Structure 1
Amino acid sequence: MYMTTCCRFLFPFVFLFSPLLMLAQTTIRGQVQIDSTHQPVSYALISEPQHRFGTYADAQGRFSAPIPEGIDTLLISCVGFENLLLPLAGLSDSTAVYRLRAKPNVLTEIVVRGRKPKVVAVGAIRKRAPIVWGNCSGRNIEFALHVRNTKGIRGYLHRVSYLIARGGVATAPFRVRVYANADGEPGEDRLPQSVVTAARRGNTWCEVDLSRYQIEFPKEGLFIAMEWLPTNEDRYKFATSFKMPDGQKNVRECFGQYLAFNRELRTATYWERINGGTWRRNAPLSRVGMGEHPVIQAKIALE
């Protein structure tokens, strides 16, 4: 299974960063809340400006983040909110509240029609999962597929769908991301707020309605992404084993669902990033990047 090969190639990458994780000196605990309402911010990312580590808050905004040595500033972020930078000096290891200020939520005027819109599907259409990808690195992983507008379609993003494969914990939550095309790579967020969803089961499409946001499907296309949300919740964790290059067996803890990959789109380009950091094209440390791409599609409502 591809998960085995994937983990084998990812291991040097994880090992490369392991000294940073092993030198953790303290743990910061707290809850992330909305500044104006004091309601929890679900699945906020606790990191630092260089994105060298990352921990997610849970659905209630609670988190426990081991801080590696050499980190002097925390960065708390979530889609739809202003980033919060906190000097580590002076923060205690006792539970505290951290509040994020919501960005202005400006939505395009919605045109209400008396009939269902005509939609066309673009991106990866086939329900085939010869290859799967799971999060066994212990880090925030995000994959973005460039959904091209090759036929000059004029319309708005109606729905997006992700092919969640068998295995893992298919019902784990993940975040839907939509980005503008900035010279061939993911650019600005096009969703004004966090959209978190989960599949009902594996080996099926997980479809999300985004019609209320009226996101234009431009001639340069969009990047549709899936962001894993690896919290500390045990119910979404599982163990998998694989062989190292020397033949020894290695067991790793993984989180969440498997996302399907295939080779349907011959000219597909997709990007990867970790801990909300810099985007990299086609995951050079794995077999992914040899023609495979995530199975993600979009349905466009025609004008």
Structure 2
Amino acid sequence: MYKFLFFFISFSLTAQIRGVVKDSISGEPIPYVNIWIENETIGTTSETNGSFSLDIKEEKVLVFSALGYEIKKASSKTEVILLKPKFFELNEVVISIPKKTKELEIGDSKKIHHSQLSGDKPWIYGKLFKFEEKYNETPFLKKIIFYSNSKIKNAKLKIRIYNFKDSIPNEDILYEEVIVSVKKGMQKNTVDLSKHAILFPKEGVVIGLEWMIIEENKYLFEYKDTKSKKTNSFVTYAPSLVINYTEEENSFHFSGGKWRKRSRAISNSGREWDGKIMTPAINLILTN
């Protein structure tokens, strides 16, 4: 039986605001920007032409976040949002050809039938991997493995990689946009990072999976109410992410323009996840 965890879903009478996100230098539209109402759980994603819309009652502060750009806050009344490109200072990496390639898989995540829905929010759901001395023999991130359960074909999401500082995810260390399409159904997805030559940070690394609230990911989710036995439905966005349960406090989510640590699940119902941290099913393959 499939189990789904719902983030906050609410319905209210609202007015729709529209806008477009552009590069402040080139003037080109910026697709797939993460957009949130500051300190709230309402958000969306810009489309391929940079356009976006949000259903809100009154003027709010919006937070715009995209890889390669500085985070910006602006009034919801602003129709054209200009994001300033962020220029990265890349560290020099000397790569030598090893006599024998080594690989190490870490993370011990597995495929189970418990999935996380996005609802209509562009959450970034992250998992922390702490550094261990044994990783010095395989110091590069080679592949990301994550499990998904999508109701539609070719649902898109972003891969984000952050260093870990002051107990939260910090700066991006993957400077190139990586968008993954996942197949329908329960899938094991593998993303090759070899060309990026990313060294495992000594402070730890957070792998983020970012939902994209775009038209091509939209679908109608149907479920049966256990009490009334009626079939209900609501609009949500694919893909769902497979969730594991752990004692380790290694899970974070980004919403409202801020990172937050995931708290322990408490339902007092004797469920297998009671008192555990729900974390996205992600593993890493390291190499030398």
TM-score of the alignment, normalized to the shorter chain, above 0.5: yes
> Residue 25 of structure 1 aligns with which residue?
15
Q: Give the C-alpha shift of residue 147 in structure 1.
A: 1.8
Structure 2: any 5+ residue segments left out of the alignment? none
> Residue 163 of structure 1 aligns with which residue?
147
> Residue 108 of structure 2 aligns with which residue?
124
Q: Compared with structure 1, are the counterparts of its residues 85 and 219 closer, same or farther at alpha carbon in structure 2 (3 Å cutoff)? A: closer
Does residue 276 of structure 2 align to residue 256 of structure 1?
no
> Residue 225 of structure 2 aligns with which residue?
243
The amino acid across from 2:35 in the alignment is: I
Structure with the higher helix share, 1 or 2 = 1
Does residue 9 of structure 2 align to residue 14 of structure 1?
yes
> Residue 253 of structure 2 aligns with which residue?
272
The amino acid across from 1:62 in the alignment is: S
RMSD: 3.1
Give the Cα–Cα distance (whole angstroms) in 1 for the partners of residues 235 and 3 of structure 2: 13
Give the Cα–Cα distance (whole angstroms) in 1 for the partners of residues 167 and 143 of structure 2: 22
Q: Compared with structure 1, are the counterparts of its residues 283 and 251 closer, same or farther at alpha carbon in structure 2 (3 Å cutoff)? A: farther
Q: Give the C-alpha shift of residue 48 in structure 1.
A: 3.4
Give the Cα–Cα distance (whole angstroms) in 2 for the partners of residues 14 and 283 of structure 1: 20
> Residue 129 of structure 2 aligns with which residue?
147
Give the Cα–Cα distance (whole angstroms) in 2 for the partners of residues 293 and 163 of structure 1: 12
Does residue 32 of structure 2 align to residue 37 of structure 1?
no
The amino acid across from 1:222 in the alignment is: V
Structure with the higher strand share, 1 or 2 = 2
> Residue 3 of structure 1 aligns with which residue?
3
Q: Compared with structure 1, are the counterparts of its residues 59 and 275 closer, same or farther at alpha carbon in structure 2 (3 Å cutoff)? A: farther
Does residue 288 of structure 2 align to residue 299 of structure 1?
no
- Fraction of identical pairs, as percent: 22
Q: Give the C-alpha shift of residue 47 in structure 1.
A: 2.6
The amino acid across from 1:236 in the alignment is: K
> Is the deviation greater in 200-209 or in 292-301?
200-209
Does residue 43 of structure 2 align to residue 54 of structure 1?
yes
> Residue 193 of structure 2 aligns with which residue?
210
For 2:135, what is the secondary structure of its paired residue?
Answer: coil
Q: Give the C-alpha shift of residue 180 in structure 1.
A: 2.0
Give the Cα–Cα distance (whole angstroms) in 1 for the partners of residues 264 and 49 of structure 2: 32
Give the Cα–Cα distance (whole angstroms) in 2 for the partners of residues 181 and 158 of structure 1: 19
Aligned length: 280
For 1:153, what is the secondary structure of its paired residue?
Answer: helix
1:108 pairs, out of 91, 97, 104, with: 91
Does residue 126 of structure 2 align to residue 138 of structure 1?
no
> Residue 61 of structure 2 aligns with which residue?
73
Is the CA contact (8 Å cut-off) linking 1:145 and 1:268 kept in structure 2?
no
Give the Cα–Cα distance (whole angstroms) in 1 for the partners of residues 208 and 217 of structure 2: 24
The amino acid across from 1:14 in the alignment is: I
Give the Cα–Cα distance (whole angstroms) in 2 for the partners of residues 51 and 58 of structure 1: 21
Deviations 1:11-52 (A, max 9, x none): xx434xx4xxx353341233x222333333120123333344
Deviations 1:147-188 (A, max 9, x none): 2334531212222121123x4225211111222223544233
Give the Cα–Cα distance (whole angstroms) in 1 for the partners of residues 265 and 172 of structure 2: 24
For 1:106, what is the secondary structure of its paired residue?
Answer: coil
Is the CA contact (8 Å cut-off) linking 2:35 and 2:46 kept in structure 1?
yes
Q: Give the C-alpha shift of residue 283 in structure 1.
A: 6.4
For 1:60, what is the secondary structure of its paired residue?
Answer: coil
Deviations 1:255-288 (A, max 9, x none): 111222235x664631233344341314647776
2:262 pairs, out of 272, 281, 297, with: 281
TM-score by length of 2: 0.81
Q: Compared with structure 1, are the counterparts of its residues 73 and 293 closer, same or farther at alpha carbon in structure 2 (3 Å cutoff)? A: closer
Give the Cα–Cα distance (whole angstroms) in 1 for the partners of residues 68 and 164 of structure 2: 19
